[in-house]
Amino acid sequence: MVPLNLASPVRRALEKVVAEYGDIDQFVGERLGFDIDGLIDRFYAEQVDALALALRCVDNSRGFVLGDMTGIGKGRVLAGLARYGVRQDMLVIFVTDRPPLFNSMAREIAVMGTHHLINQQNLLVINSGEVVTSEMGDELCRGLPTEEVRELVDRGVVPDDVKLVFLTHSQLSHAATPGSKAEWIINMSRGSLLLIDESHLSAGTDSHCGRNLRAMRDNARAQVFSSATFAKEAKNLSLYSTTDLGLIPGGEVALLDQLQRGGAAAQESIPVLLAEEGQYVRREHDLSQAIYRNLDASPEHFDVIRERMDAISRALRHMLAVQSIVSGLAARYNTGTRNPGETAIEAAGRTIGLQSNHFSSGIHHFTSQALLAVQADAFADAAIASLRNNEKPVFMFKSTMDAVIGDMAQMLMEQDINPEGARIETSFAQVLRRMAERALKVRLDARNGRGTFLINLLDPVAQMPRGARANDVFTALLDRVQLDLQQEMIAFEQALEAIPNDVPLSPIDHIRERIEAAGYSVGELTGRTWKLSRMSPTEYQLNRRTDGHKRQRQGIINAYNSGAANALMLNKVGATGIDLHADLRFQDQRLRNMFMVDFDDDINVVMQTMGRVYRANQAQPPAYSMWNSPIPVSRRPMAVLRRKLANLMAQTRGSREVDAADQVPDLFNWVGDEVALDYLRNNPDIARRLDIELGREEERLRNGNGGLVNRLTGLALLLPCDAQEDLFDDLEDAYVNKIESLLSRGISPFHSRHLDIKAAMVDEVEVEARSGSSVFQAPVSLRKLRYEIDVHAFRSDELAQILERNRANLTVAGGASQEFGDRPLEVVLDAVRATLRERQQQTFDLFLHERFGSIEEAVASEHDNAVAKSEQTLNAFEMIAPSLQIGAAVQLDVGRDAPLVANVVGIFPARSSLLHSLVSWEVQLVSPDTEYRSFRTGLDRLVTDATSALQREKAQLAEGEDVTRTLADAMFVPEMDLPRVYDAGHPAYQRYDQAASGKLEIERFMLCGNLLRAIEIARSESKGLPCSFTLADGTREQGVLMPADYDGVALLRRPVVLDDAELAVVVIRRMHERKHAKSYQLPVEVRDSVVENARPTLESRLSAADFTVKVTPTGDNYAIELHVPRAQRKSGWLVKDAELKDLAVGADWEKAGGDLKLALVRFSLNDIRSGRAVGLLDPVLRRLTDLGVSVKTPEKLREAREWKNEFLRQRAAAPDLAHAPQAPELGA
């Protein structure tokens, strides 16, 4: 099936194929050389549709992206295109992930009736020694030996008879230097049909693979990209520039800027627009047909699992404490002994001073191993129960402990002991002990000319080579911490003793042995070399796996599908190129049950692995079993999976809705980072226990570097399970509150909404004209839509009852934890004040005492810090406590010009441990407004809106003046409070009785058409909700819904961004023709994120007047200058840019009053006529765009949009002019 958001675009694209070529089956059959029967025998209908779209793209010299979900049949489509390419005498180059996929492709090509090409003469396999086999295992073709490939590379040729070339992405992993294999591959791609399977693997721009693949793309006559996950990240979309993505003005930089500013909705628009143009198609299995199970630990497993985890966590906490001491020692030593010359030495690659490995850097990987180990018995029991239910389990593993077991084998070999069959005394605790031993070892450059030494800090003298000695600084520092180290190691050893010996060291082997002991056979596709069999609680036997060779892979798969094997274990080795579903061709068609207990970090691997058991031609869909772990930290991988699935759906389906794991909040985004920072500010003791430095994390977030929530939840394994529970409950509650708060003001931060409104279009006006024939160049229009909504209006008597009921809920008799009274914040204010003061002192003592002399100094600092934030929170509590009560009227920012006035009808206090957290207090609000009748939000949202209102007021005051209103004045509207004694005649009650109710007809503006541009336009105004919506005829479209009070006429008068050199020249000339003046000021917009990342601190936002472009016409000549503030904190990041100065005609920046100016370009009227002016201005504008600087038309120049649209229409009517040197003239 086609995802709903893509259904209409794909249908319209197929209609274009019919309009241009006639019947689709006839068209595809003719191109591939099949009659209708031959076509039907080889392809499903959806595969024929994909071929039709791809062939149309080949005709139009455009790239095509085949994004079908795993199991739909991408390989068959690629094989059909390969047949077409051979028939057109094009060399067909197939690039894929791993050599086993050569076999799959060869078999698909054979089905096309071109099996005669799969031989040593016609098929060139570049991967030396790789064998292409038939389904029965017979060799069909073999990769050329290395020396023969080298000969072809040296000669720069491809054998004449070669029609097909197979290679993996890894063959492109080296630089394409002259005479290299990579250069040879790039050269052979000239005029070829390039089929790039798993294209996401080389989509990045920062690798040789990505660069070489782009060179092949540019050489090829036609390109087809195949991947169910075609754009893992927005920055990788540039690989697909041969699609109409390449038409976006400004290229890759502009595209990335649009996607970043447009957020999730902009990313969702990409697949929709590509599908509309017929350059992308995605079909999916109806995963709603799959069975989704949530598995809970049995009572006998629950307590055991938590006890095991708590024992391991205790040991890990002591290990982290050891590492913290070691890191502190290294930092103090390196700071105290460094000399100026050593910075250059380190830059050259030599290590100087004391170096240690931080244990927490590997905690994420250890987390999955520990979680798997302590729950292995529960997983085995679940699998055995599934088998007894006549199902076939498949385990998805990320961690196999192969590295740990391999180290054991290596240690034995170093002792001249044959590891095969050897018995080893070891345990899970012993693995932790070895990790701690590594943490205690540091590498010391003695700085005495005698080299670098590896030293154990507990016994440094014994480790020191003969004749060497540590310097006095190191010895003195070590003396100060050695006692602490010894005490922590003693505590660590005591913690190890508490770890039960029944925690398996190799969970995958333990699970397998348990299943086999129950009488069932198990296959494995993991690529492991060794296995570890438990002989006793602390004794294991090491054996080499006999079924681990890749040549045995097909036999393992066949055994599972035939019923000879009952269960299967796999990791990323088995994630691609295999069929494990209940295929009608297979002997064993029992239900496949995939246990998702330890999934891979790479979402592409997860999707591919899930797709192994859900494919075409299946007798029944599979089950996916998700594990509800007793260990709270295991929520983290489930939330990570959900986030990655959401990102993936945005970039492949055009939607972020995800069905799986929907009950787990998606913490891993910028909202989650803010929530995590607030949590750590409120819980500095947790920050200390997890070795998280608050100041460093605050600085990272200020500079736009996320990931705090990832680090916090990753380190949560070090906490006891009860503490983990509290942490995740607090994070998830705060996150949900924050998201609800955003949604209540019309902000959907991570996905666009669907509005089933069945709207009728009342009016439509063009905002931005079409600039070409592609949907990426389509016009943007402002539509006025009319539709009905069904709303309930609260009446005054109903409200009075709600108020009384919710007042009662704030009493102990009503279920509250204490008597909160009429003004709950006042009741708890003393406790809140005491808690915040205590947290301030803790935070200062732990993290800020070296930066500030006192708490008061930290509070007064202009730099953001946790103590200052805590003071702001306390001030907010104190200001709003007297006014916050049930019935109070508050005002909120909902994206309109005027705030929304709503009444508090319910107050929900925070838990006793979080009374000091604004985000944990919630209020229920109602209003007579049609769109905001009832919603719930956190107190932090009310405080933020009021604070923003005061800041806006201050920005409009003259310098030296200050705002006289308080935070409470900006938040509350006392004249609209609902009186405690019900009075239907009171104005506050009357506005509810007068509110419309029932079915209402409303009108709203919607930006439609070119969705990517529509989102950008809306974002420039900080308004609008990206959404999909239905028209009266049921058609589903996409657009940006503007606020209820939106002034559509004002939009048409907004300034125009001059991001196109031709347009800029036209506008400059028209401005001069319209009104002769000595000079013109063009305002400049500076993207805040660029400035913030470039400046060391964050001062006040830049005003619109801070940066301008001055145009000075003199006769037939024009001089263009950039004026910026002289203050370095405002403009230093721009003034220092060497590339901009190199492009400018002025030698350097010059003083101009209180500003600095740079002469950018000078040109004449003749330059305009010849097109030279565009050539001069274009690189300057491009560099400014790269720097986040946009030049705009003046506010009062209302004709600017009309000029731009006239320019775009002329360009669209004569597309060759888009690349001509001369800008098109506009009509008089």
Task: List Cα–Cα distances, 903 to 883, 924, 971, 1043, in angstroms.
Answer: 12, 8, 12, 21
Residue 392 pLDDT > 80, yes or no? yes
Nearest Cα to Cα of residue 1088 among 806, 788, 703, 675: 703
Q: What is the pLDDT of residues 921-942, one digit of tens each?
A: 999 999 999 888 888 888 988 9
Q: How far is CA 1060 from CA 223, 237, 1201, 1206, in A?
A: 29, 22, 14, 14
Query: Distance between CA atoms of 901 and 926, rounded to whole angstroms?
Result: 9
Residue 994 has pLDDT above 90, yes or no: yes
**Nearest one of 577, 363, 325 to 457, comparing CA atoms:** 325
On whether the 1061-1219 domain is CATH 3.40.50, my answer is no
Buried b (16+ CB within 10 A) or exposed e, 515-531: beeeebebbbbbbbebb
Which pLDDT tens digit goes with each residue over 231-244?
656 667 888 989 99
Per-residue pLDDT at 527: 82
SS3 925: strand
Contact 1141, 1184 (CB under 8 A): no
How far the first Cα of the chain sits from its last, in Å, is: 52
Please state, in angstroms and as integers, the Cα–Cα distance from residue 902 to each residue in 210, 727, 889, 1109, following that order.
54, 33, 6, 44
Which pLDDT band, with edges at 50, 70 and 90, does 152 fall under? very high
Read off the pLDDT band of 360 (50, 70, 90): low
Q: pTM score, two decimals?
A: 0.68
Can you tell me the distance from the alpha carbon of 965 to that of 381, in angstroms, rounded to the nearest whole number? 65
pLDDT digits (tens, 9 = 90+) for 632-656: 888 766 666 655 555 544 444 454 4
* 1141-1162 pLDDT, tens digit each: 999 998 789 998 888 999 999 9
Residue 345 confidence (pLDDT) above 60: no
Name the 3-class secondary structure at 352: coil
Helix (H) or strand (E) holding 274: helix 251-276
Q: What b/e string do you get for 1015-1026 counting C-beta neighbours within 10 Å, with b at 16 or more?
A: bbbbbbeebbbb
Rounded (10°) CA dihedral 900, 905, 911, 914: 30
CB-based contact 172:204 (threshold 8 Å): no
Does residue 425 have a pLDDT over 70? yes
| Residue 479 scores a pLDDT above 70 | yes
Classify the phi-psi angles of 779: left when phi > 0, otherwise alpha if psi is within -120 to 50, otherwise beta: beta
Q: What is residue 897's predicted lDDT score, i.e. its pLDDT?
A: 81
**Mean of pLDDT over the chain:** 85
pLDDT number for residue 446: 55
Q: What's the CA gap between 67 and 1111, in Å, rounded?
A: 48
Which position has the token pair 């400014």? Answer: 1184
Q: What is the pLDDT of residues 956-980, one digit of tens each?
A: 777 677 888 999 999 999 999 999 9
Q: Which residue has the higher pLDDT, 542 or 1218?
A: 542
Tell me which DSSP letter residue 691 carries. Answer: T
Q: What does the pLDDT read at residue 187?
A: 96
Give percent of the chain above pLDDT 70. 87
pLDDT given for residue 952 in this prediction: 85
- Minimal CA–CA distance to 728: which of 866, 631, 642? 631
Q: Compute the average pLDDT of residues 68-83.
A: 88
Mean pLDDT of 410-428: 91
Q: Does domain 4-242 have CATH number 3.40.50.920?
A: no
Q: Give the separation between CA 356 and CA 346, rounded to whole angstroms.
A: 15
DSSP H stretches of helix in 277-354: 299-337, 341-347
Domain ranges of the chain: 4-242, 294-626, 631-744, 796-993, 1061-1219
pLDDT at residue number 961:
78
Range 383-396 average pLDDT = 96
> Would you say residue 1075 has pLDDT above 90?
no
Mean pLDDT within 518-526: 94
The per-residue pLDDT for range 766-786, each reduced to its tens digit, is: 999 998 889 889 999 999 999
The residue-averaged pLDDT of 201-206 equals: 78
Q: Give the least confident one: 89-93, 288-292, 1066-1070.
A: 288-292
Q: Residue 863 pLDDT more than 90?
A: no
Higher pLDDT, 428 or 362: 428
Strands 592-596 and 392-396: parallel
Give the pLDDT of residue 1187.
Answer: 84
Show the tokens assigned to 671.
């909202």
Between 904 and 131, name the one with better pLDDT.
904
